[in-house]
Amino acid sequence: MSGTCGRRSIAPSGRAPSRRSGEPATASGRSPRVRLPIRARLTLISAALMAVVLTVSGVFLYLRLRSDLLEAVDSGLSSRAEDLVTTLHRSPAVLQEGGGLIDPGDAFAQVLGPDGTVIASSPGLRPDPLITPAEVSALQRPRFLQRTAATTDETVQARLLAVRVAGGSVLVVGASLDDQQEALARLAKLMAVGGPLVLILAGGVGWVVAGAALRPVERMRIQAAAISASEPGRRLPPAGTGDEVARLGETLNEMLDRLEQALQRERQFVDEASHELRTPLANLRVELDLALRRARTADELEAALRSAAEETEQLARLAEDLLVLARADRGRVPVRREEVDLAELIDGEVDAFAARARQTGVTIEARVPQGLRASVDPLRMRQAVGNLLDNALRSTPPRGMVTIEVVHLDGSLSLEVRDTGEGFPAAFLRNAFEPFARPDPSRSRPNGDEGSGLGLAIVRAVAEAHGGTVKAANRSGGGATVTLRIPD
């Protein structure tokens, strides 16, 4: 092209797009860990929580009961000590006589001198001091102690209260803790036996409750497992409960809808691809069969080989297009960007269609600013431009015009291809960029060739791989426009 834009009559005489080897698919798997069923895990978790609650509650109850029992004993000892202090002031010998104030079978008392020797003691209590001489000397205020006390019959754990009395003597009042320790032992035994029973009961209740909660999920799993590829329209019945299980069912049905659509697209893709591949393969086979059926002259063999080469080229282009669409469906169209002179790139594609344009009497006008550069994948852009020109030429009648124009607009490059044909059918515009989409078969194209139906799908794949968009529309004055926009 010379100048800012040029007008040229051109058509493709056949071209084979460059091919790139696809990346090998790799798969890596991990051995799944064996895990307990959710029902068992919920049961174990509930049992563990119950065990923690029982343990904490049991320890708290045990310590609280022990504290309350000791507090009751201490209160009784304080009352007895006050009574004995009053009695001692009146009659110091009352302890040796029993005095009726303290029942030897319930509690006991002992009076120690300043040096720790026993001055008086309750009947049945051994003559050994209940506290040491050092404790007697250090005693300043009433003090509770807990230690072993020896009676004439047995040795018991006792709670003691030591108080200073007149004359420097010390009164020690004590009571056996056997009843309290027996009560605590009964409580500990009850918790040791009842705790596991409560845990077993809680585990059983948890198992039943978890089973009831998971039963709808299991029922849903069985129903989902019964859905196969042979009946993709089958769905899970609605739960109607409005809870999480119902929402899970709705989500699964939405996923099944998407999977069914993907399966339908895949089946349609395979069917259409098989149909498109069948024609050139059949033509190639016929050409080769005819060439081998009888002896041929050199010119006849050359003509047969040229025809076979054209069919092979068509197969190669179709295979490349199918590969691009398959990668686009997975979002993995490889793009290798580089600075490209768009005028030079489009000139090359226009030249490739020169012969075809001359044969059909169509004029191609390219309007590309000289020196306009962009960071794109040149191979993919050639694919897109080539498919746009190919599609436009198929739709343009003799003496018509195809215009390709590139402008820099709002931070993006806009590539627009216009033709002077009949335009796209309104129903076709809704799915113009889907693979194998074709206009209404009853509407014949000016050039009589419907194509493979992959061209616009390839254009969309290239646009999206570059982060751009593409749209198709009909012109008010007749003809169609396809606009490809790529961020600059």
> What pLDDT is stored for residue 280 in this prediction?
72
Q: What is the pLDDT of residue 389?
A: 92
**347-349-351 Cα angle (round to 5):** 70
Among residues 183, 190, 188, the alpha carbon closest in space to that of 70 is found at 183
DSSP state of 125: B
Q: What is the pLDDT of residues 131-186, one digit of tens each?
A: 999 999 999 899 999 988 887 778 888 999 999 987 788 999 999 898 899 999 99
pLDDT at 275: 63
d(CA 279, CA 285): 10
Q: CA angle, corner 247, sides to 47 and 224, nearest 5?
A: 85
Between 146 and 328, the more confident residue is 146
Q: How confident is the model at residue 453 (pLDDT cuts 50, 70, 90)?
A: confident
pLDDT value, residue 450:
59
- Return the closest-CA partner of residue 441 out of 430, 456, 425: 425
Give Cβ neighbours of residue 191 (< 8 Å, ≥ 6 apart): 54, 58, 61, 62
Regarding beta strands 118-121 and 480-487, do their DSSP bridges make them parallel or antiparallel, or are they unpaired?
Answer: unpaired
> Which value, in Å, is the radius of gyration of the alpha carbons in the chain?
50
Q: How far apart, in whole angstroms, are the C-alpha atoms of residue 136 and residue 115?
A: 7
**Structure tokens belonging to residue 54:** 């029982």
More confident residue, 199 or 123: 199
Q: What does the pLDDT look like over 105-132, one tens digit per residue? A: 467 888 888 988 888 888 778 888 999 9
What pLDDT does residue 198 have? 92
CA distance 156 to 304: 120
Tell me the C-alpha distance between 366 and 347, whole Å: 8
Backbone angles phi, psi at 184, to 5 degrees: -65, -35
The first and second tokens of residue 189, run together, are 């035994």
Class of domain 244-328: mainly alpha
The answer to whether 415 touches 465, Cβ cutoff 8 Å, is no
Residues 445, 397: Cα–Cα separation, whole Å: 8
Q: Which of 33, 4, 18 is nearest to 342 (CA)?
A: 4
pLDDT given at position 240: 72
> Given a cut of 50, is residue 246 above it in pLDDT?
yes
What is the enclosing helix (H) or strand (E) of 48?
Answer: helix 38-90
The pLDDT of residue 31: 57
| Residue 327 C-alpha from the chain's centroid | 24
**298, amino acid identity:** A
8 A C-beta contact, residue 342 and residue 368: yes
Above 90 in pLDDT, residue 410? Answer: no
What is the average pLDDT across 413-433? 89
At residue 238 the predicted structure's pLDDT band, cuts being 50, 70 and 90, is confident
For the ranges 80-89, 142-151, 233-242, 469-478, which has the lowest average pLDDT?
A: 233-242
Specify the pLDDT at position 98: 44
Residue with tokens 């195809």: 402
End-to-end C-alpha distance for the chain, whole angstroms: 23
**Cβ pair 158, 149 in contact under 8 A:** yes
Joined together, the tokens standing for residue 234 give 């089958």
At 24, the pLDDT band (50, 70, 90 cuts) reads very low
Phi, psi angle pair for 282, to nearest 5° = -65, -40
* Residue boundaries of the structural domains of the chain: 37-226, 244-328, 334-487
pLDDT at 16 over 50: no
Residue 32's pLDDT is 60
Of 40-44, 231-235, 246-250, give the lowest mean pLDDT range.
231-235
Q: Is the pLDDT of residue 397 over 70?
A: yes
Burial of 3 (0-12, 13-18, 19+ CB in 10 A): exposed
**H runs (alpha helix) in 226-295:** 244-293
- The H-or-E segment that residue 82 falls in is helix 38-90
pLDDT in tens, 214-226: 888 888 888 888 8
User: 120: closest CA among 144, 153, 87, 77?
Assistant: 87
Same CATH fold assignment for domains 37-226 and 244-328? no
Q: Are 155 and 148 in contact, with CB atoms under 8 Å apart?
A: yes
Angle at 14 between CA 8 and CA 18, to 5 degrees: 105
Looking at residue 25, its pLDDT comes to: 44
| pLDDT greater than 50 at residue 431 | yes
Determine the Cα–Cα distance for residues 405 and 481; give it in Å rounded to an integer: 11
CATH superfamily, with its number, for domain 37-226: PAS domain (3.30.450.20)
- Decide: 42 and 386 in contact? Cβ < 8 Å: no
Strands 401-409 and 363-367: parallel
Residue 9: pLDDT band (50, 70, 90) is very low
More confident: 39 or 242:
39
Under a CB-based contact definition with an 8 Å cutoff, are residues 322 and 358 in contact?
A: no
Instruction: Please tell me the predicted confidence (pLDDT) of residue 7.
Output: 45
Distance, CA of 272 to CA of 282 (rounded, Å): 16
Read off the pTM. 0.52
What kind of fold does domain 334-487 have according to CATH? Heat Shock Protein 90 (3.30.565)
pLDDT, residue 247, reads: 87
Residue type at 32?
A: P
pLDDT of residue 23: 43
Mean pLDDT value across the chain: 81
Taking the CA atoms of residue 178, residue 182, residue 184 and residue 187 in that order, the dihedral angle to the nearest 10 degrees is -170
